[in-house]
Structure 1
Amino acid sequence: MLRTSNPVLSEKALRSGASAVVTEAMTVEGAVNRSLISVVLTMGAAYWSYSTPSLASMTMIFVIAGLVCAIVLSFKHSLAPLLTPVYAVVEGMALGSISLFADTQFPGIAFQAISLTFGVMFVMLIAYQTGFIKVTEKLRSTVMIATVAIFAVYLINFIASFFGASMSFLHDSSPLSIGISVVVVGVAAFNLLLDFELIQRLGNQGNQPKYMEWYGAFALLVTLVWLYMEMLRLLMKLQSRD
């Protein structure tokens, strides 16, 4: 069973991709190359947005645009070669403005978050490639359950905010809040393992259409963006305690 906690790499989504007529098959190398392009686009857009404070007012527009791209791609995978670069750019624009805001409060924190995010990614990649951590059915199920639980809590907190309530332990700098952030960062990191494993398995099958390389890159980028945001949140909590 090909399963992952990343919703855009769900088994249903991948079966849909595999049902297309394959004229040129997806490869692991192709997915890696598309992932690198997507990351570069995201970082380039983030740098531009970070360097242009006037774009901060458009942050929510970029976030919504990214969400629309994600929803469309979840149902129409063949659009991945077009929408994955678009998603990378708009998410980068949003991250740049968010990082600028964080840096105004805690100078240098964005660079720390970026460094830690890529550091975690490379550590998880090495752990996966060397077999130090194996993606078993039990690990996959555990990560899936943890991911769903995290986003369920986030959704409840978001809805509660409309009624003037919130879960303070998600936002303050208490030991409990910091501990929760550490756990969430860990779950996001383990999602990378699931992404690596699934992309490799699909690439080795030789029956996935070529556009799934871009779709795999998109899915991996979703996890990286989430990991960066959680890393930034954790660092801000730690800094606010000083």
Structure 2
Amino acid sequence: MKSGNPALKSTTFDNLAVSDNPMTLPGTINRTAMLLAIVLIGAVWVWRLYFATHQTEAIAPYLLVGSVGGLVMALVTMFKKTLSPYTAPAYALLEGFAIGGISALYEARQPGIALQAVGLTFGVLACMLAAYRLQIIKVTERFKLGIVAATGGIALLYLVDLVLMFFGHPVPMIHEGGTAGILFSLFVVCIAALNLVLDFDFIEKGVAQRSPKYMEWYSAFGLVVTLVWLYLEIIRMLGKRR
């Protein structure tokens, strides 16, 4: 079993004892809804702050704390799964701060873009879930390897871009519009969407293995990680249309 999501990988459910109070699919869905609600609360807070002041300086601390703190909470959650009932909500709130700030900056330049990105994100989630449940997309080993390889390639390209930005020469297609830039973003959005299918597969396997109850929170956290990535890639792609 493989996944492009660092939170849901081949060893996620390894070495977990069969529990008398195991995780369930409805429980995982409820936890996911709770985390998404927390993300929304954090995002709305920063969004309203920006449009009340129209100053980037007002939300800069939230962007910094949200981005760095979210990464730290994600790492803590991945290395200590038993803490996920506490660290996953903290991650969701911090990511909400970051998403709210990023969305507000896009919205200031292109009114309506944030709502479009949210709608497309949940639309993609619904389509991928339907395709998985109806077995339109079958999660074979070859499929898993392909998505993992593509996700790893994207991560490597982003890392190279981060290094090149320090020298003033970022990778053009990541940041610029035009046909090449939009096609690249569309490709990344497709890979992020297909990672959702792998996440669904992993969660079902965790339920089948009767993994401990706290894995509901961990699985919900892993799904939110993919959804956050998908949303950011969609809003980036929409922003390139200008």
Provide TM-score, normalisation by structure 2: 0.94
Out of 137, 143, 157, the position equivalent to 2:141 is 137
Q: Which residue does the alignment assign to 2:25? A: 28
Uncovered stretches (5+) of structure 1, i.e. residues with no partner = none
CA contact (8 A) 2:28 2:217 kept: yes
1:105-116 → structure 2 map (5 Å cutoff)? 105-116=109-120
Give the letter for the 1:148 counterpart: G
In the TM superposition, residue 77 of structure 1 has moved relative to its aligned partner by 0.4
Out of 209, 212, 227, the position equivalent to 1:209 is 212
Q: Which residue does the alignment assign to 2:40? A: 43
Deviation digits for residues 124-145 of structure 1, max 9, x if unmatched? Answer: 0111111111111111111000
Q: Which residue does the alignment assign to 1:60? A: 64
Q: Which residue does the alignment assign to 1:189? A: 193
Give the letter for the 1:227 counterpart: L
Deviation digits for residues 196-221 of structure 1, max 9, x if unmatched? Answer: 11101211221x11111100000000
CA contact (8 A) 1:28 1:204 kept: no
SS in 2 for 1:209: coil
Out of 198, 202, 219, the position equivalent to 1:198 is 202
In the TM superposition, residue 61 of structure 1 has moved relative to its aligned partner by 1.3
Q: Which residue does the alignment assign to 1:147? A: 151
Partner Cα separation in structure 1 for residue 2 and residue 23 of structure 2: 18
Deviation digits for residues 83-116 of structure 1, max 9, x if unmatched? Answer: 1111111101110111000000000100000000
**How many equivalent pairs are there?**
235
Partner Cα separation in structure 2 for residue 228 and residue 72 of structure 1: 23
In the TM superposition, residue 63 of structure 1 has moved relative to its aligned partner by 0.6
Provide TM-score, normalisation by structure 1: 0.94
CA contact (8 A) 2:46 2:62 kept: no
Partner Cα separation in structure 2 for residue 191 and residue 137 of structure 1: 14
In the TM superposition, residue 23 of structure 1 has moved relative to its aligned partner by 4.5
Partner Cα separation in structure 1 for residue 138 and residue 12 of structure 2: 24
Q: Which runs of 4+ in 1 moved over 3 A?
A: none
Deviation digits for residues 154-188 of structure 1, max 9, x if unmatched? Answer: 00100111122211121111211110000000000
The RMSD of aligned alpha carbons is 1.2
SS in 2 for 1:12: coil
CA contact (8 A) 2:189 2:234 kept: yes
1:68-79 → structure 2 map (5 Å cutoff)? 68-79=72-83
In the TM superposition, residue 27 of structure 1 has moved relative to its aligned partner by 1.3
